[in-house]
Structure 1
Amino acid sequence: MVSAWQFEIPTAGSKRLPPDARYVEALSSQGYGFEAAIADLVDNSIDAGAQNVVIHFLRDGEQLVSLVIVDDGKGMDEGELDIAMTVGGRRGYGKRALGMFGTGLKSASLSHANSVTVVSRTKRTRPVGRRWLMERAKEGFECDIIDPAYAQDFVDFYQGRPIAFQGTIVRWDGVKDFPKHGGGGQTDRYLHRTVNKLGLHLGLHLHRFLARDDFHITISVQDVRTGVEYANYGVESLDPFAYPHPGDPGYPSSFATDVPDVGPLRLEAHIWPPRSSLDEYKAFGAVVDREGFYFYRNDRLVQAGGWNNFRQPEQHLALARVAVDLPDDPDGKVFRLTVKKEGVQASPDFAGAVEKAVDAQGRTFAQYLADAERVYREARRHAGVARKAALPAGRGMDPQVRQAIEDELPILTHEEPLQFRWQKLPNDTFFEVDQEGHVLLLNQHYRAALLGGRAGSVDDAPLVKSLMYLLMQDAFQRERLGSRLKDNIELWQSVLVAAARAELDRMAD
């Protein structure tokens, strides 16, 4: 008997089903991280031929009020701006364009703000502006037309900063990520943390552009009431392949292969020198997550590490990084880029092609991986001579610190992890040791002083916990505490209590 699914499915006409206005809510729920959203807007600036982009945090005293991204690109006239602000509106993308889907501006912006305003001017047209207000957008795709006088004033405000004769301004209001109450130094702490992360993200994903002499990104913080500029940072290129010398003299090497449906592909295989402390190696996440393929699309980094089902990430391949410039694949038969440009979905054909890749010396890609592993293991053997194995760090320790511990120390994988927990203890006690439970108890009384008034979390106080982790290894690896170790613990207890009380006194002042 022939099954129904074997036949072509018949149809009886068609009907148009336009999206409900609530589609805007779905558009704003794409999971954009803050840094990825800003990077998407900078992509638009690059496509517009901008040489300068300014990311402007605006504050009113202790309160952050708006975020503005300004460029000196070619700008848009009224018709082009309407297309840019249309949900799903797509302009004609060139082969070297970074934009793809026609949703980045709207999706990235409305993921993080209740309102997005765009004002733009070309050399031949007056400034024009449009605004998406989330509430009005949900009611029926209603986009506001900005008063021409305000659009002109907005452009004039950024004249020379960096707008010269043309440019575009994107403004976010009601930014969800901003602190709701800026008092107590929350705004300063937020800006310090956010500007640093944003600079690293842009420096990494746009490093090929930032390495050029004709492209610059600046992050600025200014008070709207006083006009005082609190900070002005130039974003630096963070090239993930910028090591001073390779970990193996036989690399980097270019591996060639052919991928069905897209043709020739080159894999630029690198081996980092072991134990590097350079930001290009360690500054943007756990090292084990940054091994693997670095995919570029039109010089824009769209994936920073990962093996794309070719193999699983492993610590001993932490020095292996492979640059891949994506070939032209408009139908996405082999490579599909995520909307947020933070990853590439590769078909099994890619993994099969990598297995067949060879370099000019006739080495296979498997040999490259073996060489990267060898360099890593040899370095660990030399470094591990004087380093004693340690307990794994568990709950309560910041993930970045846990990763650093695993990178630097041989780990007793058969042992239970050492956990950290805040608990009410006598005021003359900074910590207690629960050997049986593998828990280091910290005195809740001193928590606020150690955090400097910040809100606590499971992984808080990473510096204190890291120091305690290193100090207390012997205490948790021995069945019983010897007299010398007990004396050391009493010493540490007294000094730490005195230091914590000094912090409390400073808070009281």
Structure 2
Amino acid sequence: MTHDWQFDVPTAGSRHLPPDARYMEALSSQGYSFEVAIADLVDNSIDAGAKDVVIHFLRDGDQLVSLLVVDDGKGMDESALDIAMTVGGRRDYAADALGMFGTGLKSASLSHASAVTVVSTTKRTRTAGRRWLMERAVSSFQCDIVDPGYAQTLIDRYDNRRPIEWQGTVVRWDGVKDFPKHGGGGQTDRYLHRTINKLGLHLGLHLHRFLARDNFNITIAVEDVRTGTIYMNFGVEPLDPFGYPVSGHPEYPRALTASVPTVGDVTLKAHVWTAKSNLDEYKAVGSVMDRQGFYFYRHDRLVQAGGWNNFRQPEQHLSLARVAVDLPDRSGDVFRLTVKKAGVNASPEFTSSLEKAIDRWGHSFLDYLATADTVYRDARKRSGTTRRPVLPPGKGLDPAVRETIEDELPIVPYEEPIALRWQKLDNELFFEVDREDRTIILNQHYRAAILGGRRGGLNDAPLIKSLMYMLLHQVFEKEYSGSREKDNLQLWQAILVSAARAELDRVADSD
């Protein structure tokens, strides 16, 4: 029997096929969130030896105009600047560098801005600058040379006023897509409050080991370019995901060793968090299901916060389990970072090694998981209540409320969440239950009165929506309602319609 399958594909020459200029557009569409993009720029500052990094929002009255990331690192000459602005530019990364692929600066910046300008100076060379304009980048690979006079002006702006003194780099974003188009009515202030809070938490978490050092600082500031007024100016605090005051179990943390054939021994530092913690260090990472699992570090930078990487499914009872893993320098195909450095793809070779991982006294990784499970269950028992599992809350409910529900109640795993949304209904109804779509529908007619004139959104009216979820979540656990449940639904309907109409009357009287 003959086989025509070949394991090596024969070739007949080659052809040079350079990327189309539209490659820049694809590069900028990788789904960078705002805070992940900024973190990528701060990584470059750390690689440049920066001790001070300033993230500077510039506004002109109510309008946000630019965002700059400024550092006092070693800076770049023109040659290094050209390499930095080249997509996939080849350069020698230091052994402990956070950069890897040569795309972060460009893809992170152009994901969020229509133009990115980089100006840099060193102790021995004159100031130089380059600019990628997205409009030109997608039609050709022509990178603008920044006028030397302007480049020096931009550097001088941060000279003698932190952080630049003799050397450093400024990355400037213009045409930032996230900035409010119209800043009136307090939109700019609300945007800044929300964005800066989220950015500070992200940087504090993912760079907490650097921020814990005495010689490294990140400052977030807001300045009005017309008046020179500084609206905000504060330092980012480290947020250690293992920073519990007391361990959840006296025998933890423990260092276990997983023997991975391709890369050797990998140390797993297994922690058990304190039960029912309200600390930001515990709650800053997603939901209960998200924050358990592996916390991978590469050169002291947190590159994945939570997740079991196909070793097992997350469960409520393991919400106190966190494992710190410092990735080996030579990871091969066992640990592969995403381009955004926001996750790790671990091969089956690693997950298989976990089942045999032990510490010096013979305690296994599976023993650790069992301990974390027991600590969680015992804490629930001590509280004097055994709460019944519920279907998870979903879209339409504020994320902070969803997180609290998931913290306080066991969640039925692998179930579709219950969504809440506004929709036009008969005015005799305050709500409707859609079992098939697993949705609680609220009557649009009463929305304005409930919001008290405030602008609505996907997650608006958190108080009334939370109450509706708690009132109705059990309805979705059955295929149909019995007579008693139907009577309750009619009762709730009548009372809520009456209350909503009273709210409408109050609004009419105030007008």
Q: Give the CA RMSD over aligned residues.
A: 3.2
The equivalent of 2:209 in structure 1 is 208
Please give the per-residue CA displacement for 1:167-190, whole angstroms capped at 9, x wherever unaligned.
Answer: 100001111111222222222221
SS of residue in 1 equivalent to 2:102: coil
Contact 2:24–2:137 (Cα < 8 Å) also in 1: yes
What SS class does the counterpart of residue 179 from structure 1 fall into?
Answer: coil
Give the counterpart letter for 1:278 in structure 2: L
- Relative to structure 1, the CA distance from residue 503 to residue 349 in structure 2 (aligned partners, 3 Å threshold; closer, same or farther) is farther
Contact 2:180 2:191 in 1 (8 A): yes
Q: Which amino acid aligns with 2:73?
A: G
The answer to whether structure 1 residue 311 and structure 2 residue 312 are counterparts is yes
Q: Which residue of 2 aligns with 1:19?
A: 19
Contact 2:336-2:344 within 8 A present in 1 as well: yes
Describe how 1:16-415 pairs up with structure 2 within 5 A: 16-159=16-159, 160-329=161-330, 332-383=332-383, 385=385, 393=393, 396-410=396-410
Give the conservation status (yes or no) of the 8 Å contact 1:391–1:418: yes
Q: Is 472-481 or 121-130 further displaced after alignment? A: 472-481
Describe the superposition over 1:139-171 as per-residue Cα deviations: whole angstroms up to 9, x where unpaired: 221011111110111011112231111110000
Whole-angstrom distance in 2 between the partners of 1:415 and 1:296:
32
C-alpha separation between the residues in 2 aligned to 1:452 and 1:167? 49
The answer to whether the Cα contact below 8 Å between 2:285 and 2:305 also exists between their aligned partners in 1 is no
Q: Could you tell me whether the CA contact under 8 Å between 1:55 and 1:69 is conserved in 2?
A: yes
Aligned residues: 503
AA in 1 matched with 2:182: H
Q: Deviations over 1:272-305 (max 9, x none)?
A: 1111111111123112111111110000000111
Cα distance in 1 for partners of 2:174, 2:92 equals: 29
SS at 1:6 equivalent: coil
Q: Does structure 2 retain, via aligned residues, the 8 Å contact 1:446–1:501? A: no
Identical columns (%): 65
Amino acid across the alignment from 1:461: A
**Equivalent AA in structure 2 for residue 44 of structure 1:** N
Comparing 459-468 with 180-189, greater Cα deviation is found at: 459-468
- Contact 1:113–1:175 (CA under 8 A) maintained in structure 2: yes
1:74–1:394 CA distance, 2 compared to 1 (3 A): closer
Deviation (angstroms), 1:41 = 0.3
Q: Measure the CA separation in 2 of the matches of 1:472 and 1:422.
A: 16
Query: How many Å apart are 1:222 and its aligned residue?
Result: 1.4
Larger mean CA deviation between 37-46 and 281-290 belongs to: 281-290
User: What's the CA shift for 1:326?
Assistant: 0.3
Letter in 2 for 1:355: E
Please report how far the alpha carbon of residue 392 of structure 1 lies from its aligned counterpart in structure 2 after TM superposition: 5.1
Structure 1 residues 451 and 378 mapped into 2: Cα distance closer, same or farther (>3 Å)? farther
Q: Which moved more, 1:292-301 or 1:153-162?
A: 153-162
Normalising by structure 1, we get a TM-score of 0.89
1:433 shift after superposition:
5.0
Unaligned runs of 5+ in 2: none
Which amino acid in 2 is paired with 1:187?
A: T
- Residue 432 of structure 1 deviates from its aligned partner by 2.6
Quickly say closer, same or farther: Cα 1:426–1:189, change in 2 above 3 A: farther
Contact 1:110–1:134 (CA<8 Å) still a contact in 2?
yes
Gaps of 5+ in 1: none
Shift, 1:127, TM fit: 1.2
1:10 Cα deviation from its structure 2 partner: 2.8
Q: Report the alpha carbon displacement of residue 454 of structure 1 after superposing the two structures with TM.
A: 3.2
Distance verdict in 2 for CA 1:6–1:409, change over 3 Å: same
Judging changes above 3 Å, is the alpha-carbon distance between structure 1 residues 380 and 478 closer, same or farther for their aligned structure 2 residues?
A: farther
1:170-216 C-alpha deviation (Å, 9 max, x unpaired): 00111111122222222222111111111111111101001111111
Q: 1:11-35 CA deviation, whole Å, 9 max, x = no partner?
A: 3333322222121111111221111
Distance, in Å, in 1 between the alignment partners of 2:87 and 2:487 is 71
C-alpha distance 372-424 of structure 1, shift in aligned 2 (>3 A): same
Q: Shift of residue 501 of structure 1?
A: 7.0
Shift of 1:45: 0.2
Aligned-partner SS, 1:385:
coil
Contact kept? 2:449, 2:503, Cα under 8 Å: no
Q: Give per-residue Cα distances to partners, 1:207-258, cap 9 Å, x unaligned.
A: 1001111111111111122222221221111110000111111100000122
Cα distance change of structure 1 residues 25 and 492 upon mapping to structure 2, 3 Å threshold: closer
Superposition deviation, residue 470 in structure 1: 4.2
CA-to-aligned-CA distance 1:17-75 (integer Å, 9 cap, x gap):
22221211111112211111100000000001111111111112222111110011111
Instruction: Report if aligned partners of 1:446, 1:500 keep a CA contact under 8 Å in 2.
Output: no
User: SS in structure 2 opposite 1:208?
Assistant: helix
